[in-house]
Amino acid sequence: MSIKSLTFLVFVLAVFCLYYGVQKTKLQKMVILAAGMVCMASMSSIAATAVAVLLVLSIYGIAIHMEDLIGKGKGAVSKAVKGWLALAVFLDIGMLLYFKFFKHTYVLLQEMLAAQNITLTRLVVPIGLSYYALALYGYLMDIYHKKYSAERDFFLFLAYVTYFPAIIEGPVNLYKKMAPQLRERHVFDGNKVVMGLQRGLWGYFKKVVIADRIGILVMGILQEETASGPLLLYAMVLYSFQIYTDFSGGIDVIMGISEMLDIKLTENFKSPLVSSSVTEYWARWHISLGGFMEKYIYYPIALNRRVMKFSRKIPNKYLSKAFSSALASFIVFIIVGIWHGTGWNYVVYGLYQAFFVAGAVLLMPFYKKMKSVLHINDKTLGWKIFTVLRTFSILVFGRIFIKSADLRGVGIFFQRLAADTSPHALFDGSIYQFGLDYKNVFLMYACILLVIAVDILHERGVRFRELLMQQGIVFRYIVYYAVIFAIIIFGIYGPEFHAADFIYQAF
C-alpha cells in the first residue's frame, strides 16, 4: 500500500470514519493502533511488523523495570538501571543498525550464495524503523533521567510508536508531546478537517506534480554517460528541489491526515530555501530529526564533563568555548550521515555538513572581522540573496554524496563534472531528450518558482490556509477543485511511469 495509491486514501477514509464514529477515548486509541498495524503490515510484511512489536514490547517492559529500580534509589540498583538501559539501547539501536547494514549487504550475500544454489529469505525492513527507533531512544533517556513516568498502558505505547501516518517518513515524534494526545477524546471539528485536507492536497501536488516530474529529468540526465559537467550540475540543482518537494510533500500529507484526526505532530520544515547558512538550513530542514539530535546527542556531548575539562585547557579563549560545540556538531552530523545510509559516502556527507556547521562556530571571530574590514552590511537584501545562493550551492554539492551509490561513484561524478565544461547542452534543447518535453520543463520551472515564492511568503508571515479559510465558500471550493484537477491533469503517474515512492521513506 503506497501513500500515493487510491487504496491508501480509502484506508485513511475508513480510519477517519471509525475514529470519530466510536466516540470513546479508549476505542479511538484502538482505532489508531489497528490502523498502525495494518499500515505497517501492508507496507512491509507481517513478519517485519511482528519484529517491530517485539521491539516495542521489550522497550516498554524495560522502561517500567528501570523506573521501578530508580524508585528504590540505592547504589547497586543504580548500576542495575544502567545495565537495563544499556540492554534497551542495544536492542533499539542495534536493530536499526542491523537492518541498515544488512540491507546493503543482502544483495552481495545473495550473489555469493547463488553459486551454491542457496537462496536467502527475502529481507523486509520494518517500515518507519529509522524514525521510531530514535523516538524510543529518546523515551529511554527521558525515563532514565526521570523526565516523566514510564508508560504503563502497552496499547497506548504501541499506538504511539506505530502511529500510522508518521511511520511512513516521519517526523520523529517524541513521547512527551504525542502520548498525551492519544489519551484525549477527540471530537469531530469541521475546520480542522478542512485545514487538514488543504495541507494534504498541497502535499500531493508537491509530490505528484513537482517532485516526480523533476525526478524524470534528473534520472535521465544522471544516467546519460555523455552528459556534460554543467548538465550534471543542472541535474543536481534540480535534485535539490526534487528532494525538498518530495520530502516536504510527504510530510504535508502526513500532517494533513493528523490534523484531520486532531493530532498535532512536530513541524518538519520552516522555509529551508531561504536559509543563509548551513547551520540555519539544518534548523529549518528535518526539524524533528535536528531537535532529537540536539537534545539527545549534541548537548550530552557538548556539556560532558570530560569534554568541558579538555576544552578549558585550550589557550585561545574563544576556541576554548567553541571546542565542545564544534566537537558535538561533528559527531552529530556523522550520525546524521549514517542515519541516511550506511555507505562511506554517507559518512563523508555527514562530515561535509559538519565541516560547515562546526567551521562556522570556530571561525566566527574571523568571519566577523572580515565583514568589518570589507564593510559588508549583512542587513541588506543583496547580502541576504548572496548568502542564500551560497548556502544552496553548498547543499547542492553535498547532495552528490547521497545521490551517488558509493565513494567511487562520487569520485566518478566529480571527474565527469570537470571533463566537459561546455554549457551548450543547457541551451541547445538537449534537456528535452531526457523524458520531459519543453511544455513539461516549462511547467516544472513554474512549479519550482511557486515553491520558492511560498517559502519566501511563509517566512514573511503569510499563512495561506488561514487566508483561504477567511474567504467565501465559493472561492474556497474553486481553489480546492483547481488543485485537485491540477493533480489529476499534471500529475506524473499512469502505466508509462514508475510510481516513485517518497525519497525519505527509504531512510
The C-alpha cell of 169 is what?
A: 517518513
Question: What is the distance between the alpha carbons of residues 49 and 54, in angstroms, rounded to a whole number?
Answer: 9
Are the beta carbons of 260 and 16 closer than 8 angstroms?
A: yes
Are the beta carbons of 328 and 302 closer than 8 angstroms?
A: yes
CA-CA-CA-CA torsion for 26, 31, 34, 36, nearest 10 degrees?
Answer: -110
Question: What is the distance between the alpha carbons of residues 317 and 24, in angstroms, rounded to a whole number?
Answer: 60
Residue 438 CA, chain-centre distance (Å), reads 32
Q: What is the residue extent of each domain of the chain?
A: 6-191, 274-435
The pLDDT value recorded for residue 497 is 47
The angle formed by the CA atoms of residues 44, 50 and 52, to the nearest 5 degrees, is: 75
236: buried, middle or exposed (CB in 10 Å: 19+, 13-18, 0-12)?
buried
The pLDDT value recorded for residue 226 is 84
Question: What is the distance between the alpha carbons of residues 181 and 262, in angstroms, rounded to a whole number?
Answer: 9
Which of helix, strand or coil describes residue 306? helix
DSSP string, 277-289: SHHHHHHHBSHHH
User: Residue 474: how many CB atoms within 10 A of its CB?
Assistant: 7
The pLDDT value recorded for residue 496 is 45
The pLDDT value recorded for residue 167 is 86
The pLDDT value recorded for residue 175 is 92
Question: What is the distance between the alpha carbons of residues 198 and 208, in angstroms, rounded to a whole number?
Answer: 15
Strand ranges (E), 374-487: none
Are the beta carbons of 33 and 159 closer than 8 angstroms?
A: yes
Q: Angle, to 10 degrees, between the axis of helix 25-43 and the axis of helix 46-72?
A: 130
How big, in percent rounded to 5, are the helix, strand and coil portions of the chain?
A: 75, 0, 25
The residue count of the chain comes to 507
Which of helix, strand or coil describes residue 65? helix
Q: What residue type is assigned to position 452 of the chain? A: I
Buried b (16+ CB within 10 A) or exposed e, 166-185: bbbbbbbbbbeebbebbeee
Q: What residue type is assigned to position 61 of the chain? A: G
* Alpha helices by DSSP H, 23-45: 25-43
The pLDDT value recorded for residue 360 is 86
pLDDT along the chain (507 residues), means of 10: 82 93 87 93 87 94 91 72 93 87 63 60 75 94 92 95 88 92 90 92 93 92 87 94 93 94 92 92 93 93 88 82 87 90 88 91 84 84 92 94 88 87 83 89 94 92 88 89 89 56 55
Are the beta carbons of 38 and 163 closer than 8 angstroms?
A: no
